[in-house]
Amino acid sequence: MRIDILSLFPEMFDGPFANSIIKRAMDRSLVSIYVNNFRNYACDRHKVVDDSPYGGGAGMVLKPEPIFEAVEDLVGRPYVKNPQRPVILLSPQGRLFTQKIARELAGFDNLIFICGHYEGIDERISRHLVTDEISIGDYVLSGGEPAAIVMVDAIVRLIPGVIDCLSVSDDSFSQGLLEYPQYTRPRIYRGLEVPDILLSGNHAEIEKWRRKEALKRTISRRPDLLESAVLTQEEREMLEEIKGSE
């Protein structure tokens, strides 16, 4: 996979992309990430990328020329929207980023992310350049860079070969539920014990316990997830049992 990020502050990506899973994925040539400063595509000698909004108002708005030019430099001219080459604007007005969207984007060979800044972005970019607008939450950031880092991390770990497939399948949200509780050594710490079932060696019962605990945790912390979760008949019976014991 190739990921291109258009940003006014490329240095913000140096630390996050130089460590951990993303760094290992790049070292193994499973993903290539390029961060491009779209100020380099500004048309004037002062490299201006923003201007005051037509009609008045507070703040500055990103101009269309540098971003259009930067994208066309990556995908070719004349630019034509292509659903197989997503151009994604990080925006608080976009659809909410989820694990499902991360899996969807992990299936593409190429992704382009545009990191907005200042008061907003020229509407012609949204309407005629980007193929998708995505938000990582109902709050406002100073720019799209932190959102891009979050999304790239979530997407890259889903690329085949990056991490163990079993680890991915057990993640929270992967099965529509939160992940079950995890324990490790020591067996007893400050009087707090690991559940006996996890030490039993009975893998079928351990799996059943984990599914039930995942349901309990989801009901307690994110009951909204159950509205769209796909449950087996056994899990539905567990769910009724849990609700009946509350």
- State whether 184 and 138 are in the same domain: no
What is the per-residue pLDDT for 113?
Answer: 98
- State whether 94 and 52 are in the same domain: yes
Check if the beta carbon of residue 8 is closer than 8 Å to that of residue 115: yes
- State whether 101 and 49 are in the same domain: yes
- State whether 76 and 100 are in the same domain: yes
What is the per-residue pLDDT for 165?
Answer: 65
- State whether 149 and 217 are in the same domain: no
To the query of whether residue 124 is one of the catalytic residues in this protein, the response is no
Q: Is the dihedral of CA 180, 156, 82, 51 positive or negative?
A: positive
To the query of whether residue 66 is one of the catalytic residues in this protein, the response is no
Q: Among the options 72, 73, 104, 119, which is catalytic?
A: 119
What is the per-residue pLDDT for 73?
Answer: 97
Q: Which of 165, 188, 207 is the last residue of a domain?
A: 165
Q: Among the options 92, 146, 153, 170, which is catalytic?
A: 92
To the query of whether residue 53 is one of the catalytic residues in this protein, the response is no
Confirm whether pTM is higher than 0.85.
yes
Q: Give the dihedral of Cα atoms 120, 146, 171, 17; nearest 10 deg.
A: 140
Q: Among the options 85, 171, 181, 217, which is catalytic?
A: 171
What is the per-residue pLDDT for 174?
Answer: 62
Q: Which of 123, 139, 165 is the last residue of a domain?
A: 165
- State whether 139 and 178 are in the same domain: no
Question: Domain with 241 in it: what CATH number?
Answer: 1.10.1270.20
What is the per-residue pLDDT for 55?
Answer: 93
- State whether 129 and 192 are in the same domain: no
Question: Domain with 81 in it: what CATH number?
Answer: 3.40.1280.10
Q: What are the pLDDT tens digits along the chain (246 aa)?
A: 999 999 999 999 999 999 989 999 999 999 999 999 999 999 899 999 999 999 998 889 999 999 999 999 999 998 999 989 999 999 999 999 999 999 999 999 999 999 998 778 999 999 999 999 999 999 989 999 999 999 999 999 999 999 976 566 566 676 789 999 999 999 999 999 999 999 999 999 999 999 999 999 999 999 999 998 999 999 999 999 999 987
Q: What is the DSSP string of the chain?
A: -EEEEEES-GGGGHHHHTSHHHHHHHHTTS-EEEEEEGGGG-SSTT---EEPPTT--SS-EE-HHHHHHHHHHHH-SS----TTS-EEEEEEEEEEP-HHHHHHHHT-SEEEEEE-BTTEE-HHHHHHT-SEEEESSSS--SBSHHHHHHHHHHHHTTSTTSS-HHHHHTSTTTTSSPPPP---S-SEETTEEPPGGGGS--HHHHHHHHHHHHHHHHHHH-GGGGGT----HHHHHHHHHHHHH-
Q: Among the options 50, 65, 122, 157, which is catalytic?
A: 157
- State whether 147 and 28 are in the same domain: yes
To the query of whether residue 185 is one of the catalytic residues in this protein, the response is no
